[in-house]
């Protein structure tokens, strides 16, 4: 005679989503079982068998849950819904951990944070972009790296420009 085999529960790195914690679990059946068991046991044995009863209930619940999870996983595996998750994920995690370790290692770090590096086209650039062009709003020649703050004032947008326009002293004190 054989019990239904407990199918190996596939280990995944992500918690199984199947058993939603929102779902009340088999408690209804067990409650019935407890009341039945009480009726069956003799009255003067009640106190003695109390821990045994709790133990049985717990075992029953645990078995029920284990088989439930096994059954779900079995279905997922048989229907081809698990897609080699485990292998792919492990590989990705390994690569990620490896990458972080290598990058964190100071001896490996060839990248200089300074802005005097040479790009792939063999060019170097100053920290503040120095290309000069004409502002399309006012026509003045502006350096690229200073274009945004210039344009802001030029177009009359932004906080500082708005303050200047209103000229209100209360506005100034509020924002200063």
Partner 1 sequence: MCSSNNLYKNPKPCKHLADYKLKNGLCGYSLIQECFRTTPYGRTTLEISKSEIPRCNICSGCHGRFYMCLICSSVLCCWSPESNHAHLHSQSQTGHEISVDIERAELYCFVCCDQVYDPDFDNAVMCKHIMGFSRTENGGVESELRLSKRRRSSFGMDLDSKNMKRLFFRRDQKSKSCFPLGLRGLNNLGSTCFMNSVLQVLLHAPPLRNYFLSDRHNREICRKMSSDRLCLPCDIDLMFSAVFSGDRTPYSPAQFLYSWWQHSENLATYEQHDAHEFFISMLDRIHDKEGKESLAPKDNGDCQCIAHRAFYGLLRSDVTCASCGFTSTTHDPCMDISLDLSSCNSNPKGLTSKSSKPNESLGGCLDLFTRPEKLGSDQKLYCENCQEKQDTLKQMSIKKLPLVLCFHIKRFEHSPTRKMSRKIDCHMQFPFSLDMKPYLASSIVRERYGNRIFSFDSDESDISTQFEIFAVVTHSGMLESGHYVTYLRLRNQWYKCDDAWITEVDEEVVRASQCYLMYYVQKMLYHKSCEDVSCQPMSLRADAFVPIAGCC
Q: Under the rule (CB under 8 A), what is the footprint of partner 1?
A: 1-5, 7, 14, 17-18, 20, 22-23, 26, 29, 32-33, 36, 60, 63-64, 67-68, 71-72, 74-76, 78-81, 83, 88-89, 92-93, 95-96, 98-100, 102-104, 111, 115, 117, 119-121, 123, 125, 128-129, 131, 133, 136-137, 144-149, 151-152, 155, 157-159
Q: Which is nearer to partner 1, 42 or 136 (CB)?
A: 136
Q: Which is nearer to partner 1, 50 or 100 (CB)?
A: 100
Cβ–Cβ under 8 Å, residues 109 and 103: yes
Q: Which is nearer to partner 1, 18 or 58 (CB)?
A: 18
Which residues lie below 8 Å from residue 115, measured CB to CB, with a gap of 6+?
A: 125, 126, 127
At closest approach, how far in Å is the CB of 130 from partner 1?
Answer: 9
Q: Which is nearer to partner 1, 106 or 121 (CB)?
A: 121
Q: Which is nearer to partner 1, 148 or 171 (CB)?
A: 148
At closest approach, how far in Å is the CB of 92 from partner 1?
Answer: 5
At closest approach, how far in Å is the CB of 74 from partner 1?
Answer: 5
At closest approach, how far in Å is the CB of 173 from partner 1?
Answer: 20
DSSP assignment of the chain equals: --PPP-PPPPP-SSPPSSS-TTS--SHHHHHHHHHHHHHHS-GGGHHHHHHHHHHHHHHHHHHHHHHHHHHHHHHHHHTT-STTHHHHHHHHHHHHHHHHHHHH-GGG-----STT---TTS----SS---EEE-TTT--EEEGGGHHHHHHHHHT-HHHHHHHHH--HHHHHHH-
At closest approach, how far in Å is the CB of 6 from partner 1?
Answer: 11
Whose tokens are 């280990």? That residue is 11
């Amino acid at each position: 005679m054989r019990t239904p085999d407990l199918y190996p529960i596939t280990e995944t790195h992500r918690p199984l989503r199947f058993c939603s914690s929102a779902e009340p679990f088999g408690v209804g059946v067990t409650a019935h079982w407890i009341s039945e068991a009480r009726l069956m046991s003799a009255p003067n044995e009640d106190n003695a068998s109390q821990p045994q009863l709790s133990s049985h209930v717990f075992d029953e619940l645990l078995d029920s849950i284990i088989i439930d999870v096994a059954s779900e996983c079995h279905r997922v595996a048989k229907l081809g819904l698990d897609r080699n998750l485990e292998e792919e994920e492990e590989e990705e995690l390994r690569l990620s951990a490896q990458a972080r370790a290598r990058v964190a290692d100071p001896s490996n770090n060839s990248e200089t944070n300074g802005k005097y590096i040479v790009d792939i086209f063999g060019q170097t650039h100053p920290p503040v972009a120095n290309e000069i062009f004409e502002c399309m709003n006012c026509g003045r020649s502006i350096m690229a790296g200073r274009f945004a703050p210039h344009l802001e004032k030029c177009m009359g947008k932004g906080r500082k420009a708005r303050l200047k326009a209103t000229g209100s002293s209360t506005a100034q004190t509020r924002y200063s």
